[in-house]
Amino acid sequence: MKTALATVSISGTLREKMEAASKAGFQGVEIFENDLTQYSGSPSDVSKMARDLGLEIIALQPFRDMEGNPRDIQKKRIEMLKRKMQVAHELGTNRLLMCCNVQPYASPDRDLCAADLRDLAEIAASEELILGYEALAWGRHIADYDDAWDLVQRADHPSLGINLDTFHMFSRGNTLDCLRDEIPVDKIALVQVADAPIMPRTDYLTYSRHSRCFPGQGDMPVVEFVQVLKDKGFDDYLSHEIFNDEFRSSDPVAKAIDGMRSLIWLDDQTAPKHGIVKDDIDATASIIDVEFIEFAVEGSSGDELIKTLSQLGFAETHKHVSKNVSLMRQGDINLILNKEPRSQAHEYHEKHGVSVCALGFATENVKHTLDVAEHYKAERFENQAGPGELNIPAIRGVADSLVYLVNRGTGYRFFDVDFKSINGVQGEQGVGLERIDHIGQTVANVDFLSTGFFYKSLFGFDIEPSQDLPDIHGLVVSRTATNKDKTVRIPINMTNARSASAERFLTQTRGSGVQQVAFACKDIFVAAKNMDQEKVLTIPNNYYRDIGARFDLPEKLLMSMKAHNILYDRNDQGEFFHFYTEQIHGVFFEVVQRVAGYDNYGEANAFVRLAAQAEQGEN
C-alpha cells in the first residue's frame, strides 16, 4: 500500500508540513482546507511544491454537511463545492472528501440524502473527480460507517465512494463485518488510519479532537482493519488524519517520522509471513538485557553523582584505553562515566548537564537489530573508535540520547576490549546489587506516545497500559515498555502539571531523559546495612504505621524497614521491598528486591516517594 499524511496531523506552515512529510518518506499528502486557506501562495504553487518534494496531493478535505439540508441551504452547498472543484484541479488532485451532516436541521430521510449525494457525484463526474463520503462519530443521523455505506449504495454513482476512518469506526464500537462482507474495494475512496486509547463513548467530538494518535500507539484494532483491507486486495493509499494537541505542538519532522514508522509497523503486522519485514528480516529485535548506562559528566560536575554511586557500593574498576571514560561496576551492572571532551557525551552535558546520555542494550545479533531499527526509520549515529577498539553501533534514542547495541555471546564483554582494569580495585560485589531492574525515562507530554512506540516498533517491546501516579502537585502518567522476558523494563513518565516531579525534572535537565535507575538485589536489608545512608530518601514515619496496619507486618520487620527507609508492597504474585536515594542533578536511584514473582514496581508507594522528593527539592 501507498502512504500519505493529512496536513492537519502535524504542526507548522503548509510548506513545513509538506517538507516534513517528504523527509519522512511519505508518498502523498491530504491538503486540509485550513492549511491551504492560510497559505500565501496559490493552489498551483502548492501543486508545484508537492511535485518538487516528490509528493502526490491525494485529496482536498474536508467538506461538511453536504447532504440532507433544506433546499435553500443545499443549493448553496452545491455552489460552494463547484468552486472547490476548481481548487482541486489547481492542486492536481482528483479526490474531495465529504463528512456527514451534523447540523440539527439535517434530514433523516435517507432517500433524500442519497439523492443529494448522487447529484453531487454527477457534478464531480463532469469534472473527472471522485467524492469520498465519511461517517463522523457525532453525525446527526449518519454516525456509523455501515450507515454511510448504505447511503453510498443508495446513491449508486461511480464517482462516489466511501471514506473509511478507523477512529470514527472503532470509537463507536463498529465491527469489521460490513467492510469484510459488503464493501468492494473499488468503492473505497480513501482510507484514513488513526488510533486512540479506548475511552467511554460520551463526547465523541472532544475525544476525536484531542485523543487520536498514530496506529500502534493506542488500543484500537487497527491491525485487524488493515488485514481485512489486504485480504480484499486493497492497494491504494493508507493516510493518517490525526487530531492531537501534542502532535500539533511538536517538531513536524519528528512527528512525520513517527507517522511513517507506524505505517511501516502496520504493514509488517499484516505481512503474509507475520513479523517478517523486507528482505526476510524478522521484525522482532532480540534485546536481551541492559549492557550499560552511560552518564555525561565533566570536570568535577559529576562528583556528587560518583559519591552517591560509591555509597551504593559501586567502584571505578576500569579506565578506557584511549578516552577520558571510566567504568563503575557491581554485580552485572555497568555504569560508564564519560568525560571525553570531543564526544556525544560532551555535547549532551553542554545541553542537559550531568545526566544519562546513552543506554547500551545487549542483543544476540547486532546486525539484525540494526536492520530492524533502520527499517523503522531509526537514525544511525557514527562513533569515533580508536585503533583496535570496538566500534559499537548506535542509533538516536529518546530526545538527544543514544541507544548502543552490543553483541552478547561473543565470549567477551565490551570492557574486556576497550577498557583496562584498575589494579587493586575490588568493587564488583559492592553491597550486593546484581543487575539493572528498570530504567525510568521522563519525557515531555509531546513525546509520551512516540517514546513507547519507539521501543515497541524497533525492539518489539510490550507496552503496558497507562496508569496515574498521584503527585502532590498533580498527576504523573506512566506506562512501561518491556522486552518479552522482562529483563529490560523501561517505565515512561509524563505530566501536564507544571510543578509535578516529572516537569521539575524536564525543567532542570532541559529535556526528556532518564530520571530513575533501579538496581535489583537478593537481600535489600543486607544491601542497606552495608551502604552509607547519607543520600537515602527519607520516608515519613506515618508510612510505616500505614503499611503495618494494611499488611499486618511483624513489628521487627517494620522497625528494620523504617531504619533504612525501605518501602513495601504485596500482591498475589509476591512481595516487593525498595528504597530510593535523594535526587542528584534530577536523577535518583532505587534498590529493589522482588520476592516470589512480584512483577510490578511498587506503584502504590509512588505518592509517598513523590511527596518526599518534593520536600527534598524545597529544602
- In the annotated binding site for a divalent metal cation, the residues are 134, 165, 192, 241
Q: Which of 241, 270, 390, 380 is nearest to 325 (CA)?
A: 390
Instruction: Report how far residue 162's alpha carbon sits from residue 160's, in angstroms, rounded to the nearest whole number.
Output: 7
With beta carbons less than 8 A apart as the criterion, state whether 189 and 133 touch: yes
Helices 252-269 and 14-24, axial angle in degrees (round to 10) = 40
Ramachandran sector of residue 551 (left: φ over 0; alpha: ψ -120 to 50; beta: rest): alpha
Q: What's phi and psi for 518, nearest 5 deg?
A: -110, 130
Helix, strand, coil % (nearest 5) of the chain? 40, 25, 35
At 230, is the secondary structure helix, strand, or coil? Answer: helix
**Residue 201 neighbours by CB distance under 10 Å:** 11
Instruction: Report how far residue 474's alpha carbon sits from residue 469's, in angstroms, rounded to the nearest whole number.
Output: 9
597, 602, 603, 607 alpha-carbon torsion, rounded to 10°: 170
DSSP secondary structure string, 561-598?
A: HHHTT-EEEE-SS-EEEEEEBPPBTTBEEEEEEEETT-
With beta carbons less than 8 A apart as the criterion, state whether 261 and 457 touch: yes
Instruction: Report how far residue 347's alpha carbon sits from residue 349's, in angstroms, rounded to the nearest whole number.
Output: 5
At 283, is the secondary structure helix, strand, or coil? Answer: coil
Residues contacting 279, CB < 8 A, separation 6+: 371
Amino acid sitting at position 484: K
With beta carbons less than 8 A apart as the criterion, state whether 311 and 532 touch: yes
What is the C-alpha end-to-end distance of the chain, expressed in Å?
58
Provide the annotated binding site. Answer: 134, 165, 192, 241
Q: Which three cell numbers stand for residue 537?
A: 530518601
For the chain, give me the number of helices (H) and strands (E)? Answer: 21, 28
